[in-house]
Amino acid sequence: MSYKSHRDFFEVLDKEGELARVKKEVNWDVEVGAIGRKVYESSGPCLLFEKIKDYPAGFRISNGTTGTWPRVALAMNLPKNTSVRDIYATYEKRLEKKIPPVTVGNAKAPCKENIMLDDKVDLYRFPAPMIHEGDGGRYIGTWDAVICKDLETGWQNWGMYRFMVHTKNWLTGWPQSTSQFAFIFNRSYRPLNKPMPVAVVLGADPMSHIIATAPIKPFEDEAACVGSFRGKPVDLVKCETSDLYVPAHAEIVIEGEVMPDRIAPDGPFGEYPGYRSGTMSNGIAVKVNAVTYRNDPILTMIALGTPPDDSSIAASLSAAVAMKKGLLRHGVPVTDVYVPPEGVTHLIIVGVKKGGAEIAKKVLDYFTLRRIMTNKHIVVDEDVDVFNMGEVLHAFATRCHPGRGIFYEHYEGRSNSLTPFYSPEERSKLKGVSVVFDSTWPPEWPPEIVPVKASYKTIYSAETQAYVEKNWKSYGITKK
């Protein structure tokens, strides 16, 4: 079943038994976050909070739109029981194709049903949640798509970065220096000391947000990627106060400018690795000039934390497919890459056609070249299903030589400051270390010394298997 927008998708989720509408009044101050977290931790449904304390009827909050694999499958218009392997394969295929967006006028853009301009702007009119106890403030942008524009080329980048309400018309946020947001700001606006127009989009169709988490290359159009998932162009509409273009069906669009000469306090926050790490620090300061929104707007929240949730699931998909392509370009004979959501992009499983020390070193080299978000990498042979963590753990335990099969690399200035195990000193210098666990058989071993895997498919001859299959029914065992 197909859908047009974030709220249409809820109809799909409803039909599939994947949505709970919470009609009881709930508090934006910690209660919605606590409920959202509890539901993630029991693999529960997407939530739509329909009545928020202190807010008029109609101002709603959602949590967990695509926080499970079945809901990601539905967002991709696949059957809800599609395997993770097939979700990855479909994602990879659709990302290859691009369908450019079309622009529509305000009359055809539901996100313009209400327009709040200039001194009328009041972010407190929206039920931004205090998600975790101990957060530095009310995070309005947790499941967003943030758009900004490169001046020289006109390219508009989409990325997902968190945003917190600072005052009624200022936001603060924390796009990392390695983000394309920072890349555009530093190349187009900072040299001219000019404010950078930005749009923080909440409640676009679900694929828009998943694509915003993806490391799509500079100068590529994310809107055209989303079009490919929808099978038709995305409708974009021009902002009221800038020439940025935003998804016309979005629930809420916050239009602002990043000030080159100001900072504002951001964090702490319960972060994607599953911890509250860090303290309040200097974030960017965004002056908000307009907010446009649909009638009865739905604010998209994710009660981020320990996996799985929308963050670890989306990152699993979008990061793995990018890594697979990167490793292939780097000369690694990759079959598949899996980013288990439980490993919050710190742990990566790489399947290869041929393994060994040289390949393991190439894998380590690729993962330490540029911006380093990962740190542990397990390389396995082709006979291991990378999507099956039982098989991966078996290979890791039985094929990785603790003396010869572990490769490290230390670096400084480019590690991930949110990685929980780094000390405050390592974080401040962005010092880090990455490791590859070579869990493949050495390719130099002659076949006769490679232990034979004692599984049904590998230790019995084709003849024995055929005999057993032929007689299967007669054994009276019901499970296939």
Would you tell me which residues interact with Mn ion (CB under 5 A)? 157, 159, 180, 216
Q: Does residue number 311 form part of the binding site for ligand FMN (CB under 6 A)?
A: yes
- DSSP label at residue 240: S
| Closest distance of CB 222 from Mn ion, Å | 6
- Measured N-to-C along each axis, helices 310-329 and 84-96 cross at an angle, to the nearest 10 degrees, of 60
User: Which residue, 183 or 411, is less far from ligand FMN as judged by CB?
Assistant: 183
**Per residue in 382-413, is it b (16+ CB within 10 Å) or e — as a string?**
eebbbbebebbebbbeebbeeeebebeeeeee
Judged by CB under 6 A, which of 237, 286, 314, 320 binds ligand FMN? Answer: 314
181 binds, among Mn ion, ligand FMN, none (CB under 5 to 8 A by kind): ligand FMN
Please give the full DSSP string across 414-465, using - where no structure is assigned: -S-TT-TTS-HHHHHTT-EEEEEEEES--TTS-GGGSPPP-SHHHHS-HHHH
Span from 7-15, 209-217, 235-243, 413-421 in contact with ligand FMN (CB under 6 A): 209-217
223 binds, among ligand FMN, Mn ion, none (CB under 5 to 8 A by kind): none
Q: Does residue number 185 form part of the binding site for ligand FMN (CB under 6 A)?
A: no
CB within 8 Å of 421: residues ≥ 6 apart:
none
Q: Does residue number 181 form part of the binding site for ligand FMN (CB under 6 A)?
A: yes
User: Which residue, 110 or 308, is less far from ligand FMN as judged by CB?
Assistant: 308
Judged by CB under 6 A, which of 103, 176, 306, 417 binds ligand FMN? Answer: 176
C-alpha closest to that of 323 among 242, 377, 361: 377
- Cβ-contact 32, 48 below 8 angstroms: no
H/E run at residue 182: helix 180-184
Q: Does residue number 308 form part of the binding site for ligand FMN (CB under 6 A)?
A: no
| Closest distance of CB 105 from ligand FMN, Å | 27
Span from 78-86, 107-115, 207-215, 413-421 in contact with ligand FMN (CB under 6 A): 207-215
Q: What distance lies between CA 288 and its chain's CA centroid? A: 26
Say how many C-beta atoms besides its own lie within 10 A of residue 205's C-beta: 23
- Beta strands 102-103 and 235-238 are parallel
Residues numbered 116 to 175 that lie near ligand FMN (CB under 6 A) are: 157, 159-162, 174-175
Residues that bind ligand FMN (CB under 6 A): 157, 159-162, 174-176, 179-181, 213-215, 272, 302, 304, 311, 314-315
